[in-house]
Amino acid sequence: MTEEEKNMIRRNLLSNGLGLTPPMGWNSWNHFHCDIEEKLIRETADAMVSTGLAAVGYEYINIDDCWGELNRDSEGNMVPKASTFPSGIKALADYVHSKGLKLGIYSDAGSQTCSKTMPGSLGHEEQDAKTFASWEIDYLKYDNCETDGDIEDNWNSMTSLADQNDKWSSYAAPGAWNDPDMLEIGNRGMGSDEYRSHFSIWAIAKAPLLIGCDLRSMDNQTYQILTNKEVIAVNQDKHGVQGKKVKKEGDLEVWAGPLSGGRVAVVLWNRSSSKARVTANWGDIGLNSSTLVVKARDLWAHSTNYSIKGHISADLESHACNMYVLTPQ
């Protein structure tokens, strides 16, 4: 296949309108692991709507591993586990769709899924795709076990995955987003500043925003982080460029990336164990002139400074961040 033919295929895939911004939704794995059943999925869809999460852009309800029987049927088809999904996946899709949401499902590129409780799709790729289509599935998580570790609900895991994801920033674009794993916000293993940093970095890095907590019992702090429309807007910006780490002085970091309309998103992040000042000079974040005046919108404080010159700084508590959208004046 020539390079021109490959490019034509890429253009055709983009023209289907899918994945033009990072997906937003919920996934069962981080909180529930294999402890899933159809009642949970229905109640999560209900909660996605009733809490207002759907109204700010979260639309996928994604079933992760452990939904199927260990063995395929006599025709080689995957079978929903009778004890936990007795109504079948198609009925569940119909319910989720009735809420104005979309249903996702899970498979693996190997012979078994990561839990080893159900078959993977190796050798059955086309057959499984047709099965999922017949169930009107909207989203497929296609895993590849043992390539790296899942995110865990702690500071070291989250920051490690942020750094790994940052190395691949140049490959992200509309229709092809890098995925540092699902969100842990609300699972209570980190503090509020750490969760706000988690959400800010995932947003600026154009990562999928897939909630990983129990939506039926999330607290107000979790809700306030997950529904910050200004942070979500950075993630969903049509320009589609993954923000990246542009400055590092020990554990003090600046992450930045361009947005539509000539704006720039910036995260000042204190990864140290004590309070510190973090500074981004205009040259650090792709603004050319040291005398340029910008309007700075603080996305967590929801406040605006209309005339900042040369740099932007913040005194940050340990593991905290500030996030801004800068608009040249």
Out of 35, 150, 219, 315, pick the active-site residue: 150
The alpha carbon of residue 152 and the mean position of all alpha carbons in its chain are separated, in whole angstroms, by 15
Contacts of 25 (CB under 8 A, 6+ apart): 48, 58, 59, 60, 61, 62, 101, 102, 104, 139, 209, 210, 211
Contact between 137 and 60 (Cβ < 8 Å): no
Cβ contact 308:294 at 8 Å: yes
Round to whole Å and give the CA distance between 319 and 29.
25
Largest CA distance in the chain: 72
Q: Is 219 a catalytic residue?
A: no
Active site residue 166: no
Q: Is the dihedral of CA 230, 232, 235, 240 positive or negative?
A: negative
Alpha-helical (H) ranges within 89-228 are 89-98, 125-134, 155-166, 192-204, 220-226
- Answer whether 203's CB lies under 8 Å from 209's CB: yes
Give yes or no for a contact between 326 and 263, defined as CB atoms under 8 angstroms apart: yes
Residue 12 neighbours by CB distance under 10 Å? 9
- 3-state SS assignment for residue 99: coil
Active-site hit among 64, 108, 143, 214: 143
Q: Is 202 helix (H, G, I), strand (E, B) or coil?
A: helix
Quote the tokens at residue 43.
Answer: 């109640």
* Enzyme catalytic residues: 143, 150
